[in-house]
């Protein structure tokens, strides 16, 4: 009887110990989610000048290749974006309550005009490129047949000021669950690619 009692006490002890371990890993996971250092780019401030781009080329499978600048965007349908928040894939939140001014990617692509053979020719993807080689990808369906198409912008003003260090133009998506991954600063190009 005494042995059974000791074994059950030992079992309860082991169970409590393992619960505590599980809690610890959950805490560790949480603290890494709030650690924004992983999301920060490794570029030194001195590199920023080299990375800033003064124009964004829209190219690939388009009828009209465009060379967008802040001035040419100002001549298009400029929209105001309220309350943007940048959230990294890890869950870390960096910039909150930002406002932007820019032109929707859909308007830009409509101006460039995709080279579609007929209305069933929709197997395209669009790559947003940056000068540090960072990239984000969109599909035809997302832009032209989904609400996301109303939420992707090439922006040039942040909180009322022209974008400098991370510009001159950025691409943002306002309805992604985590907005960080498809927030492309130092934007240099928008490449329209047809799936082969």
Ligand X SMILES: Nc1nc2c(c(=O)[nH]1)N[C@H]1C(S)=C(S)[C@@H](COP(=O)(O)O)O[C@H]1N2
Residues that bind Mo ion (CB under 5 A): 39, 88-89, 180
Residue 99: both structure tokens together:
């406002």
95 binds ligand X, rule: CB under 6 A? yes
Residue with the CB atom nearest ligand X in the bound state: 180
Nearest-approach distance from CB 25 to ligand X, in angstroms: 24
- Report the SS3 class of residue 26: helix
Nearest-approach distance from CB 183 to ligand X, in angstroms: 4
The conformational region for residue 142 under phi > 0 = left, psi -120 to 50 = alpha, else beta, is: alpha
Residue 37: both structure tokens together:
């250092």
Residue 133: both structure tokens together:
């080689």
Query: What residue has token string 């947003």?
Result: 128
Nearer to Mo ion, 33 or 39 (CB): 39
Q: Find out whether the peptide bond into 168 is cis, omega within 30 degrees of 0.
A: yes
99 binds ligand X, rule: CB under 6 A? no
Which residue in 33, 35, 39, 72 binds ligand X (CB under 6 A)? Answer: 39
Which residue in 130, 152, 173, 192 binds ligand X (CB under 6 A)? Answer: 130
165 binds ligand X, rule: CB under 6 A? no
Residues in the chain: 196
Query: What residue has token string 């005009």?
Result: 113
Nearest-approach distance from CB 183 to Mo ion, in angstroms: 8
Picking from 40, 42, 70, the residue whose alpha carbon sits closest to that of residue 54 is 70
Residue 63: both structure tokens together:
């009828």
186 binds ligand X, rule: CB under 6 A? yes
CB atoms within 10 A of CB 192: 20
Residue with the CB atom nearest Mo ion in the bound state: 88
Nearest-approach distance from CB 27 to ligand X, in angstroms: 23
Which of Mo ion, ligand X, none does residue 185 bind (CB under 5 to 8 Å by kind)?
ligand X
Nearer to Mo ion, 8 or 89 (CB): 89
């Amino acid at each position: 009887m005494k042995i059974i009692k000791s074994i059950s006490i030992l079992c309860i002890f082991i169970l409590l110990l393992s619960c505590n371990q599980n809690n610890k890993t959950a805490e560790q996971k949480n603290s890494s989610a709030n650690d924004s250092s992983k999301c920060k780019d490794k570029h030194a401030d001195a590199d920023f000048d080299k990375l800033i781009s003064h124009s964004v080329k829209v190219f690939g499978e388009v009828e009209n290749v465009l060379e967008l600048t802040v001035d040419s965007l100002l001549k298009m349908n400029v929209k105001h974006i309220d309350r943007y928040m940048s959230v990294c894939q890890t869950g870390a939140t960096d910039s909150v309550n930002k406002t932007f001014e820019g032109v929707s990617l859909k308007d830009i692509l409509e101006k460039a005009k995709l080279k579609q053979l007929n209305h069933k020719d929709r197997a395209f993807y669009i790559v947003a490129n940056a000068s540090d080689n960072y990239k984000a990808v969109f599909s035809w369906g997302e832009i032209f047949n989904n609400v996301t198409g109303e939420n992707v912008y090439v922006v040039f003003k942040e909180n009322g000021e022209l974008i400098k260090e991370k510009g001159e133009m950025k691409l943002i998506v306002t309805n992604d669950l985590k907005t960080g991954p498809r927030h492309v600063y130092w934007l240099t190009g928008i490449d329209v690619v047809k799936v082969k």
